[in-house]
Amino acid sequence: MIKGLWLSIFLATTAMASLQKNIRVGLIIPETRQDHVTSNPWGVQQRRGFELALNDVKNLSLEIQDNSESALLAKEKAAEFVKKDFDLVAGLSYSDQAIAVKQQTSPAGIPYLTVFGTAEALFDKEKSVFTMAIPNDAQVADLTRYLSGFPDIRKTGVALIVARNCEYCVDMERELKSSLKKQGIPITQYPDLLKNRPVPHDYFEHLGLAKYIVPLAYEVEGLSVINALVKRRYHGLLLGGDSWSTQTLQVANNLGLLRSICLVNTVPYDVTSRSAKNKKFVRDYKAKYGEMPTDVAALSYDAGLAIVQVAQRCEAASKRKECLANAMAHLRFEGVSGNVRFSSNGKRLGPRILLKSSTCASVEKEYDFHQ
């Protein structure tokens, strides 16, 4: 009896020691919409990316929480992870939700890896927040550099369309205006897109069409912009940021919307990349989920790979949180979205990918584009 009791205590102690060896990672993912019922494609893609990267990893204990696209819920879920003394927190896309998580994790010294958050308020001197997305300033530099290749751009200028329900778009607008101004490129502004609704069908009805248009909007509104321009027989350049994914370009091409429109966008991931890592990722993703991976899935996958690497380095560390943050800060590896490394304040470094529709060659030639 006593021998059996000691054996039970030994097994429980061994199990507890084994459990304590695992690095505890909390994932906060917006898997449902704000009604807590409707599936959120972005959240689904995040979960899939993390699942593929973290599948069968032995030294991690994962807990996934759904914040239903709510910053308040994100804050509550992060507070739970802090209370449970988790070692690392990851996930989320929108900056307002990511900031809510940071407000809980940073004071507790818990490193936080967001997938898409790029707002300046995320980053601080504590170096506890990291983002897998290329920040706005890098995107703006790419967009400005491309626009500068058109010889008449300083005469014709650029027209901006901004969706005010998109925090990323408003941030991009501010930085892009500053960058274009420094290059002497004039700016005109179309009326702001209405909150949480597609572009009105008559949006361009009484507006002059600019030669170079930059829509800063979510994908559904981006496609609405294209549709509205096609109806007006627009001929020119549309230049977007990464809120227009690779899939937007493919959908627009497939619908035959780009016959006279050159669509250019900077993206964090190119699904057509022929790198060995990306080929394997696309093959595994299609085999498991029956469809091609998106930008969100790819960045989440790379975030998962980053977690695996820092976890391996810090499994035996006495100060795990400090070790994980330091390991993340010095991380260097080639992911499916390109080289993964971070600046001194946690921003993702590296060039973005400039994707163009097949019609751009003729439009660029007509407009005497050169770089």
310 shares its domain with 362? no
Distance separating alpha carbons of residues 53 and 203, to the nearest angstrom? 43
- Record the tokens describing residue 301, joined without a space: 């996958």
pLDDT of residue 147: 93
Taking 60 as the threshold, does the pLDDT of residue 207 lie above it? yes
Q: Where are the alpha helices (DSSP H) in 157-231?
A: 167-182, 219-231
Pairing of strands 112-114, 88-90: parallel
Highest mean pLDDT among 260-264, 283-287, 342-346: 283-287
Residue at 336 is within a domain: yes
Residue 8: inside a domain, yes or no? no
The more confidently predicted of residues 83 and 227 is: 83
Kindly state whether residues 162 and 207 are assigned to the same domain.
Answer: yes
CA-CA distances (angstroms) from residue 141 to 36, 94, 138, 180, 181?
Answer: 38, 22, 5, 10, 13
In a domain, 148, yes or no: yes
Assign residue 361 a region (left: φ > 0; alpha: ψ between -120 and 50; beta: otherwise). alpha
Q: What is the average per-residue pLDDT within 59-77?
A: 94
360 in the same domain as 212: yes
pLDDT for the residue numbered 197: 64
Asked if 100 and 31 count as a contact pair (C-beta separation under 8 A), the reply is no
Domain holding 71: CATH number?
3.40.50.2300
Indicate the angle between helix axes 95-105 and 71-83, nearest 10 degrees.
Answer: 20
DSSP labels, 285-307: HHHHHSS---HHHHHHHHHHHHH
How much is the pLDDT for 194? 65
241 plus 362 within the same structural domain: yes
Most confident of 55-69, 128-142, 302-316: 302-316
pLDDT for position 15: 42
Does residue 7 lie within any of the structural domains?
no
Please write the tens of the pLDDT for every residue from 136-177.
777 888 889 999 999 999 999 999 988 877 777 888 889 999
Q: What is the mean pLDDT of residues 215-233?
A: 80
Q: Is residue 204 assigned to a domain?
A: yes
Mean pLDDT of the chain: 85
Mark whether 308 and 209 lie in a shared domain. no
Answer for the pair 82, 105: CB distance below 8 angstroms, yes or no: yes
Parallel/antiparallel/unpaired status of strands 158-162 and 112-114: unpaired
Among residues 129, 60, 58, which one has the least CA distance to residue 92? 129
The whole-number pLDDT of residue 314 equals 95
Considering the domain boundaries, does residue 4 fall inside one? no
Question: What integer is the mean pLDDT of 92-101?
Answer: 85
**Quick one: CA dihedral 86, 87, 91, 96, positive or negative?**
positive
Name the residue with higher pLDDT: 1 or 114.
Answer: 114
What is the pLDDT averaged over residues 3-24?
Answer: 52
- More reliable by pLDDT, 214 or 14: 214
Same domain, 114 and 153: no
Residue 336: its pLDDT value, please?
95
Give the model's pLDDT for residue 26. Answer: 97
Domain that holds residue 322: 21-134+275-340
What is the C-alpha separation between 150 and 148, in angstroms, rounded? Answer: 5
Task: Tell me: do 41 and 146 sit in the same domain.
Answer: no
167 near 150, Cβ under 8 Å?
no
For residues 271-279, give the mean pLDDT.
Answer: 91
The whole-number pLDDT of residue 184 equals: 95
Q: Which residues contact 21 (CB under 8 A, 6 or more apart)?
A: 59, 315
**Residues 358, 233 within the same domain:** yes
Phi, psi of 116 (to 5 degrees): -125, -10
Q: What integer pLDDT is reported at residue 202 of this predicted model?
A: 78
Amino acid 241: pLDDT: 60
CA nearest neighbour of 129 among 93, 90, 94: 90
Q: Tell me the C-alpha to C-alpha distance, in Å, between residue 351 and each of 51, 57, 113, 194, 288.
A: 26, 30, 20, 32, 30
Q: Give the pair of three-digit tokens for residue 254.
A: 């497939």
Confidence (pLDDT) at 19: 43
Cα–Cα distance measured from residue 252 to residue 357, given in angstroms and rounded to the nearest whole number: 9
Among 106-110, 115-119, 255-259, 262-266, top mean pLDDT goes to 106-110
Of 48, 62, 59, whose CA–CA distance to 284 is shortest? 48
How sure is the predictor about 126, in pLDDT bands with cuts at 50, 70 and 90?
Answer: low
222 with 234, same domain? yes
Q: Do 220 and 360 sit in the same domain of this protein?
A: yes
How confident is the model over 268-284, as a mean pLDDT? 91
73 and 56 together in one domain = yes
Whether 291 is covered by a domain: the verdict is yes
Chain segment 324-338, per-residue pLDDT in tens = 999 999 999 999 999
How many helices (H) and strands (E) would you count in the chain?
13, 13
> Which pLDDT does position 133 carry in this prediction?
86
Position 198 scores a pLDDT of 67
Give the number of domains in the chain: 2
- Please spell the DSSP secondary structure of 311-336, one letter per residue: HHHHTT-SSHHHHHHHHHHT--EEET
Supply the pLDDT for residue 17.
42
pLDDT over 50 (residue 88) = yes
In a domain, 249, yes or no: yes
Residues 6+ apart with CB under 8 A from 186: 154, 157, 158, 180
Q: What percent of the chain has pLDDT over 70?
A: 90
| 360: exposed, middle or buried (Cβ count in 10 Å: 0-12, 13-18, 19+) | middle
Domain shared by 83 and 129, yes or no: yes
